[in-house]
Amino acid sequence: MDRQNVADQVNGIALAYMGDAIYEVYVRRHLLQKGISKPTKLQHLATHYVSAKAQAELIQKMTKEQLLEPRELEIFKRGRNAKSHTSAKNTDVITYRISTGFEAVFGYLFLQNEHLRLEKLATWCLHQVDEELK
């Protein structure tokens, strides 16, 4: 599979699998840069950024503010509508599916090597959560 075409050839769940890991790295780096170093505190704070509920709220804000490019919106829908064989933990199915779409966007951008766009969206998301936590 050609590296540039991987993102277009894998399903929405696979994109979300990649995106989950990528977004998690942004969150972890962000928390460390804030000077937080205790593992229990890091884990507790990270859930505010990476929970299905948080991700669903973020993607809904992105959509409302029209931050997503048309292709990214298509990828979100591909991830959201993908049939998952895992069940939602600690949230309802709709929230889980929306968060899967969020993760798919991050996975897609990473696999397409669109690192500047990825950084822009991740920074926006981190800022949104930081504002909520104030």
- 3-state class (DSSP) for residue 93: helix
Residue with tokens 């979100």: 76
Could you please state the CATH topology (level 3) that the domain comprising 3-133 is classified under. Answer: Ribonuclease iii, N-terminal Endonuclease Domain; Chain A (1.10.1520)
Q: How far apart are CA 3 and CA 47, in angstroms?
A: 31
Segments making up each domain of the chain, as ranges: 3-133
List per-residue pLDDT tens for the chain, 134 residues long. Answer: 555 578 888 999 999 999 999 999 999 999 999 999 999 999 999 999 999 999 999 999 999 999 999 999 999 999 999 987 776 778 899 999 999 999 999 999 999 999 999 999 999 999 999 999 98
Active-site option among 2, 20, 92, 130 = 20
Structural contact between residues 36 and 49, judged by C-beta atoms closer than 8 angstroms: no
Cβ atoms of 63 and 103 within 8 Å: the answer is no
92 is catalytic: no
Q: Are 79 and 100 in contact (CB under 8 A)?
A: yes
